[in-house]
Amino acid sequence: MAAPRSIGSLTISFGLVAIPVKLYTATQSTAQISFNLLHKACGSRLRQQYVCQKDGQIVERDDMVKGYEFAKDQYVAFTPEEIKALDEVGTHSVEISEFVPIESVDPVYFDKTYYLAPDKGAAKPYTLLTEALKESKRCAMGRWASKGKAYIVMLRPVGDVLAMQQLRFASEVRPATEIDVAKADVKPGEMKLARQLIDQQQADLFDPGAYVDEVRGRIEAAIQKKVEGHEISISEGPAPSTGKVIDLMEALRASLEKTETARASATKLGPRKAPKRVEETTRPARKTSKR
């Protein structure tokens, strides 16, 4: 894996202390598996074209400009230079406005995450802020603007690194109270079994490495078979659950038994391999015409 590269720089204002930092993306998107549109007859890739709604003519990219629809079918056009100027309006600093308990920030507000590293000469104030946040068990809240958009940001320690979490504004998050949830009475016995099920499957820490993208793995395997000239057939998975519970107590007891059996098997046999979902039969590779 290539070493991370800084994508920019910022200054964190911590009281009268200024901390210059370098900005890194915290996540790396695995290239999304996408399928291209091909001409069914010859297998050649199709090209997308833009057509003017008024005169029906094909418009080339050099003749395109961006516009904003301020009323039905009425637009104001912006030149590339004007768009660039708007995008560049932003702040290169994060001014901390308050410190709040980390648990008080609902994850529903979380958006993109960045890592921050101290720039030249900033190691000491950077470390001071990081350690102070750890000791106080609080995170720092501030504002940041980038590419024509304002953000609320939360600074929190991840080990010895400061993470900058972009947050959504309250206007962007639908209140949970808008969702109509019917209340039901829960019997003590049902609660006891539910708690037993939770206790049986509890873990001290969340381990993201324990989860793998099985859907992506199946798609990649199917693509490879196709590339090698094999025919594939995807077996049907389990029937979808109807979500209808006939007997809640019985369902909870069955869940406990199933978990106990699975745990006993895992202890006996060790790590279990995922079942194969792709079956193949050999066939000649399809030839596509060269153009």
pLDDT digit string, tens, across residues 89-120: 666 889 899 999 999 999 999 999 999 999 99
Per-residue confidence (pLDDT) for residue 142, from 0 to 100: 93
What is the torsion angle, in degrees rounded to the nearest 10, for the CA atoms of residue 66, residue 69, residue 73 and residue 78?
Answer: -30
Per-residue confidence (pLDDT) for residue 291, from 0 to 100: 39
Nearest to 100, CA basis, from 159, 47, 167: 167
Q: Structure tokens of 136?
A: 């106080």
Residue 155 near residue 167, CB atoms below 8 Å: no
Q: Which residues of the chain have pLDDT under 50?
A: 272-291
- Residue 252 phi/psi, 5° resolution? -65, -45
Residue 17 near residue 118, CB atoms below 8 Å: no
Per-residue confidence (pLDDT) for residue 242, from 0 to 100: 55
Per-residue confidence (pLDDT) for residue 126, from 0 to 100: 94
Q: How far apart are CA 18 and CA 124, in angstroms?
A: 11
Nearest to 79, CA basis, from 90, 88, 70, 66: 66
Reduced to 3 states, what is the DSSP secondary structure of residue 262?
A: helix
Residue 173 near residue 108, CB atoms below 8 Å: yes
Rg (CA), the chain: 27
Domains delineated in the chain: 8-27+87-171 (2.40.290.10), 188-200+212-236+245-282 (no CATH)
What is the rounded end-to-end Cα distance, in angstroms, of the chain?
36
Residue 259 near residue 201, CB atoms below 8 Å: yes
Per-residue confidence (pLDDT) for residue 278, from 0 to 100: 42
Per-residue confidence (pLDDT) for residue 289, from 0 to 100: 44
Q: How far apart are CA 168 and CA 159, in angstroms?
A: 24
